[in-house]
Structure 1
Amino acid sequence: MTETIPDLMRHAANTYGAREFLRFPTATATDADVSPTTLTFEEADERSDRMAGALLDKGVRPGDRVAIMMDNVPGWPLSWLAVLKAGAITVPVNVRYRAADLEHVLRDSGAVATITTGEHAPHIPGAVHLLDALQDGTPRPLPRLAPDDVANFQYTSGTTGFPKACMLTHDYWLRTARIAADQVGLRDDDVFMIAQAYSYMDPQWVTLLCLMGGVPLVVLPRFSASGFWASARREGATLTYVLGTMPLLLHKQPPGPHDRDNRMRAVLCSGIQPDLHATFEERWGAPWRELYGSTESGPDLVSPLDATDTVGTGSLGVAPPGKEVVLDDETGEILVRGVPMMKGYWNHPEATAEAFRGGWYHTGDRGERDEQGHLRHVGRIKDMVRRGGENISCAEVERVLAEHPAVLSAALVPVPDELWGEVPKAFIQLRPGHPATEDTAMSVAGHARSRLARFKVPAYVEFVEEFALTPSARIEKRHLLRPGRDQRAAPAIQIPQTGKEQR
């Protein structure tokens, strides 16, 4: 009976044994001679057993939180499995996090240690366990787990404040993977390819999906629009999942004679652009199907592979077994209940109660039904910026901006962007004596860049004399986003984006 993630790993090792499980290509599209790192199901089980023993020897106990901060390397899923086998709770950490982000996640979660590699260790406060030091542990009896035990503190940006940890159980993860496996009709000859960072939700549930079906998971080092489909051809991928700005970045690549030269039989995507949906399918020769959900609630709506009538309609699909999805009569907000579902927000009982008021999880998304009864996404209620596949908490960025000596008060808002969907713009009220100049804007942005992940740094800065306030003395952001105004035009100051963007 596979009621927990370690149960599933053990079952897969016993059932699929020497079959390939994990494949980490190191080759680029033009360097096919470099062999990928691969692990079989039984190798992954044995290595994660030894790592779990090493963690227990280092004092990790059931219920402890252990952070993982590393790139897309085999050590990430092995560490995840090891932490869970030790009875502990995983805290995934984005490798792009710096001081403010990192300190908050580690302090809020109460992580007893962080598993990482040498390149990231210097950035991490507190106890650090280097991945290499865990490889030679001795397998030992492991604690028994229950389906309702928490497996992850998965941090997600909420409507206000700092990122909150969603408490996700073993049952949550297994149900999420099973829904996706059923959606694509998982087959023995499938190969799933993923390009997101392992600290995000998607590679984790895809790992479990592959454990369920005994099929290989190909984990790319990072997303590359120019190399994605070449990788799919080289690896023989039949399934993949993309989201955020990835589809548009792929679409912007020049069409080529090999676009349809692939084994892909399904592309799952969250937020397919309706007017490009049919174009995507025609260009790459595979159906694209919507998978709508959130960290809090897992998959809420899915589009079956045979739902060809929904192509280009913006339909989010139908609720899978175990889920109910409705629209709030007054606001049009999408409400969800059922399983899978998080246990709540760690350390935030009030936010948990607010999110589940009336017995429904309030997604913060607005929806509407079309003439056929299909549910479509039409906007968000949450106070955050959705940049590509990243959720940016406005309050988190505002707090960091306010630390700058020139800033009296700050408000972050989303600005439409052709590539990323949305980018963050900061409205700033300066302290007396500080000039509203480009140099000041660049100084504020530089401060943010030193404290936050790059994708959270404002793309535009605009100075204001004062803010309109609500009766509760909060900045009334609706006055900042006047209809018909180009928020990117002067007096807004554009902030140069340094370095290569992955998403």
Structure 2
Amino acid sequence: MSNNVENATLYDGVCMPHLLIEGLNRYDDRPCLFMGDDHILSYRDMRETTSRLMQALASLGLGKGTRAAIISGNRPEVLSNTAAMSISGFIGTPLHPMGSLDDHIYVLQDAEIEVLIFDPQLFGEHVAKLKERVPTIKHFLAFGPTDVGTDYLALAETFDPKPLVAADITPDDLGSINYTGGTTGKPKGVMSTHRGTAYMAMIQAAEWEFPEDLRMLMATPLSHAAAAFFVPVLQKGGAFYVLPGFTPDLFFDWVEKYCITATMLVPVMLYVLLDSPRADTADMSSMESIFYGASPMSPARLQQGLEKWGQIFYQFFGQSEAPMVLTNLSRKDHDLSKPERLASCGRPAPWVHLALLDDNNEPVAEGEPGEICVRSPLVMKGYKGLPEQTAEAFAGGWLHTGDIGRFDEEGFLYIVDRKKDMIVTGGFNVFPREVEDVLSGHEAVAQVAVVGVPDERWGESVKAVVVLKPGVDGTDDVRQSLIDTVKQAKGSVQAPKSVDFVTSIPLTPVGKPDKKALKAQYWGNASRGVQ
């Protein structure tokens, strides 16, 4: 019996907290985080700040299993806090910086958040409202002086740095709960384990084409995308270069000035860069890898980028339920002599079981489309508090992604449509039901259906198709009122970019809005139903 107890952890793998400690301990004076010429943090600085933040959290009685959310702009403390939370065994939940108050309230309550960490300069007023509405939150920790809670940084400065030691976690312990929308109209909490995030880092190390001399330019929120790049950058002894904002001039200026070798962008950012006059004049010779994902890339725009800057593009594909590394399209596979391949999301990672299944969970015939399904340590533990939706997602012993794909004869995967109605616009997920629920409450609306339509800039944009109530005219004022209503309730990302007024919405035989027929009116003869 004692031998079994001793061997209980014998085969446990390394988890994300261990990888972070090992990475932060590798170097001392080498630059780790760059946020401008006057703000450079070394590996030692990051390590010591992480230790101080960990001790500050522990002094409040917070540790393994604490559920914490974060909302912040890009500032150096965000990465140190990410490490401090992970190493302390927290269960983290990022709040979308562009999300609405109601959305944040729902997430904070559903995830049972005890601690909210925030940027007081950008979100002080917002957090004050959250404090009134979510009384179950016990601690409000600010990156600086605040009237809402505790100055987290001042508290951390009262401690001296100590060696980093990971909490007593297991690979099956939860590391995060990230929220993604669903057909119920409410976001679902994706419960990810320490095993999953470590496995993702392993596949990144094995498959992703990171430059040896890694200067990683980040233009996306550090509280979201940067976390996925934290360990690979540390393992390479690289440094994060964090833009104060995203404009083409800023991007190209930093690439030229600091000889940036890699970056991660969503397609809409690439479109903005390609449309800038600087795209033809900027010196991009230092750039070795542009990682892109989060939404499908327009093959035509990708071809334009390849013609300008060469084979420096690397695509990744995944979803919250199994993140980022399901398939990879390598730099060499971005081949202008095979333009049809630019519509692919690459080959499945050899570390993942990926199959195309029919509605009976059987493999489809070769060359035929089927739902992309996955088995892997990457796969989430389940949806928080949603056993039925979890069982549906795991039907037949596979994670069902909801995406329909097909393989070509060389094993490259193409996403041809989405099984569900999710819209991906500019790298953000929009769920039509949520927008429809807001619009259906408007005094002018009799019926509404929301679909994604082709958009050269955003990949897809949100379109509302509306049947007005009798006696209501479809004026520009009404159209703008509908857009503003959604913007106020859900945020600008979810707000329709266009509104069409129609006399009727096509229905299925059972009386549901026929989204497929509706989309066909806008997608026409396009070879696929996503951009």
TM-score, normalization by structure 2: 0.82
The residue that corresponds to 2:181 in the other structure is: 157
Q: Distance in 1 between matches of 2:123 and 2:406?
A: 44
The residue that corresponds to 1:349 in the other structure is: 387
The residue that corresponds to 1:404 in the other structure is: 442
Residue 304 in 1 paired to residue 316 in 2?
no
The residue that corresponds to 1:21 in the other structure is: 32
Given residue 131 of structure 1, which amino acid in structure 2 is its aligned partner? Answer: F
The residue that corresponds to 1:28 in the other structure is: none
Residues 202-260 of structure 1: CA deviation (Å, up to 9, x unaligned) = 31111121122221112223332343232222222212222231222222122566434
Residues 459-499 of structure 1: CA deviation (Å, up to 9, x unaligned) = 1223445555556664333343353689xxxxxxxxxxxxx
Query: What pairs up with 1:456-471 in 2 under 5 angstroms?
Result: 456-465=494-503, 467=505, 470=508
After the TM superposition, which of the residue ranges 239-248 and 64-73 deviates more from structure 2? Answer: 239-248
1:414 is displaced (CA, Å) by 0.9
- 8 Å CA contact retained: 1:99, 1:450: no
Given residue 301 of structure 1, which amino acid in structure 2 is its aligned partner? Answer: T
After the TM superposition, which of the residue ranges 66-75 and 464-473 deviates more from structure 2? Answer: 464-473
Given residue 460 of structure 2, which amino acid in structure 1 is its aligned partner? Answer: E
Match of 2:22 among 5, 8, 11: 11
Distance 1:95 1:42, change over 3 A: same
Residues 253-301 of structure 1: CA deviation (Å, up to 9, x unaligned) = 2256643443111222233433444442341244212212222112111
Distance 1:477 1:374, change over 3 A: closer
Matched residue SS, 2:203: helix
The residue that corresponds to 1:99 in the other structure is: 101
* Unaligned runs of at least 5 residues, structure 1: 26-34, 487-503
After the TM superposition, which of the residue ranges 270-279 and 357-366 deviates more from structure 2? Answer: 270-279
Given residue 44 of structure 2, which amino acid in structure 1 is its aligned partner? Answer: E
Distance 1:297 1:232, change over 3 A: same
Q: Distance in 2 between matches of 1:399 and 1:56?
A: 42
Match of 1:379 among 408, 417, 436: 417
The residue that corresponds to 2:113 in the other structure is: 111
The residue that corresponds to 1:29 in the other structure is: none
Residue 129 in 1 paired to residue 134 in 2?
no
Match of 2:232 among 178, 194, 209: 209
- 8 Å CA contact retained: 2:180, 2:189: yes
Q: Distance in 2 between matches of 1:212 and 1:146?
A: 22
Q: Distance in 2 between matches of 1:230 and 1:2?
A: 42
1:380 is displaced (CA, Å) by 1.8
Q: Distance in 2 between matches of 1:255 and 1:14?
A: 39
Q: Distance in 1 between matches of 2:485 and 2:280?
A: 46
The residue that corresponds to 1:365 in the other structure is: 403
Q: Distance in 2 between matches of 1:369 and 1:482?
A: 23
Distance 1:163 1:222, change over 3 A: farther
The residue that corresponds to 1:324 in the other structure is: 353
Given residue 353 of structure 1, which amino acid in structure 2 is its aligned partner? Answer: A
Distance 1:99 1:403, change over 3 A: farther
Q: Distance in 1 between matches of 2:180 and 2:118?
A: 21
- 8 Å CA contact retained: 1:23, 1:216: yes
* Same amino acid, percent of matched pairs: 30
Given residue 480 of structure 2, which amino acid in structure 1 is its aligned partner? Answer: M
Given residue 183 of structure 1, which amino acid in structure 2 is its aligned partner? Answer: E
- 8 Å CA contact retained: 1:197, 1:222: no
- 8 Å CA contact retained: 2:450, 2:462: yes
1:422 is displaced (CA, Å) by 1.0
After the TM superposition, which of the residue ranges 4-13 and 105-114 deviates more from structure 2? Answer: 4-13
Residue 120 in 1 paired to residue 123 in 2?
yes
- 8 Å CA contact retained: 1:9, 1:45: no
Query: What pairs up with 1:149-228 in 2 under 5 angstroms?
Result: 149-186=173-210, 188-200=212-224, 202-228=225-251
Q: How many residues align?
A: 476
- 8 Å CA contact retained: 2:214, 2:233: no
Q: Distance in 2 between matches of 1:224 and 1:288?
A: 20
The residue that corresponds to 1:259 in the other structure is: 282
* Unaligned runs of at least 5 residues, structure 2: 1-11, 132-136, 145-150, 358-363, 525-531
Distance 1:36 1:342, change over 3 A: farther
- 8 Å CA contact retained: 1:272, 1:290: no
Distance 1:380 1:18, change over 3 A: same
Distance 1:337 1:222, change over 3 A: farther
- 8 Å CA contact retained: 2:321, 2:379: yes
The residue that corresponds to 1:81 in the other structure is: 83
The residue that corresponds to 2:317 in the other structure is: 292
Distance 1:437 1:144, change over 3 A: same
Given residue 176 of structure 2, which amino acid in structure 1 is its aligned partner? Answer: N
1:413 is displaced (CA, Å) by 0.9
1:356 is displaced (CA, Å) by 1.9
- 8 Å CA contact retained: 1:244, 1:390: no
1:5 is displaced (CA, Å) by 2.7
Given residue 223 of structure 1, which amino acid in structure 2 is its aligned partner? Answer: F
Match of 1:143 among 147, 164, 167: 167
The residue that corresponds to 2:51 in the other structure is: 49
The residue that corresponds to 2:477 in the other structure is: 439
- 8 Å CA contact retained: 1:302, 1:319: yes
Residues 91-138 of structure 1: CA deviation (Å, up to 9, x unaligned) = 101111122322222222121231112230211312432122112334
The residue that corresponds to 2:490 in the other structure is: 452
